[in-house]
């Protein structure tokens, strides 16, 4: 039996303090539940925060780096993988995940949320509001998209989808 994989995505540059706090908390809670945490691997923003949280809880963190530079990896990533394929690596993150959680919004994050909906991967938006929420609700249609208030609520939603112990 393999551990399930949760992609935690969000802004690299331009993440808000709330985005970072939520991503770190979600990384920690997810690792405690037994999820492998997957993300874009870079030492900035939501990627870095989610990795830090997951590692603090003893979790396994896999980072899918966009460039050929191994030095770009967050120190909190357990296994950095080097793609050298820029934003095309977002498709690997989403396809490899059993579920995707979104903390914050940016152009790169929007690529990942659209890919998750495109591939019908269950996606949980944490604290998304306004046009971001409305747009993605309509984009998802009947595909599995959830909108929650907090990291704890995101974990609760994942439990409903994947069982008590992920």
Contact with a second copy (CB under 8 A): which of 18, 95, 159, 165?
Answer: 95
Alpha carbon separation from 144 to 9, 57, 119 (Å, rounded): 17, 28, 10
Residue matched to tokens 């152009």: 107
Q: Which stretch binds a second copy (CB under 8 A): 18-26, 48-56, 111-119, 156-164?
A: 111-119
Contact with a second copy (CB under 8 A): which of 25, 51, 132, 157?
Answer: 132
CB of 152 to a second copy, least distance (A): 26
Contact residues for 48 (Cβ-Cβ < 8 A; gap 6+): 42, 74, 76
Q: CB of 30 within 8 A of CB of 12?
A: no
Record the tokens describing residue 158, joined without a space: 């994942």
Q: Is 16 in the site for a second copy (CB under 8 A)?
A: no
Q: In a 3-state reduction of DSSP, which class is residue 22?
A: helix
Nearer to a second copy, 56 or 81 (CB): 81
Given the rule CB under 8 A, which residues bind a second copy? 2-3, 5, 36, 60, 62, 64, 68, 78-89, 91-92, 95-96, 105-108, 110-111, 114-115, 117-119, 130-132, 134-135, 138-140, 143
């Amino acid at each position: 039996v393999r551990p399930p994989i949760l992609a935690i995505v969000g802004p690299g540059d331009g993440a808000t303090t709330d985005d970072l706090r939520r991503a770190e908390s979600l990384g920690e809670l997810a690792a405690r539940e037994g999820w492998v945490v997957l993300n874009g691997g870079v030492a900035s923003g939501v990627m870095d925060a989610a990795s830090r949280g997951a590692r603090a809880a003893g979790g396994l963190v896999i980072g899918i780096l966009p460039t050929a530079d191994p030095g770009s990896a967050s120190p909190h990533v357990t296994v950095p993988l080097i793609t050298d394929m820029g934003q095309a690596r977002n498709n690997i993150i989403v396809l490899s995940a059993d579920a995707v959680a979104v903390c914050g919004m940016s152009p790169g994050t929007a690529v990942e949320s659209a890919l998750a909906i495109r591939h019908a991967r269950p996606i949980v938006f944490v604290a998304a509001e306004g046009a971001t929420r409305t747009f993605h609700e309509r984009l998802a249609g009947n595909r599995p998209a959830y909108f929650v208030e907090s990291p704890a609520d995101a974990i609760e939603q994942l439990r409903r989808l994947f069982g008590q112990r992920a």
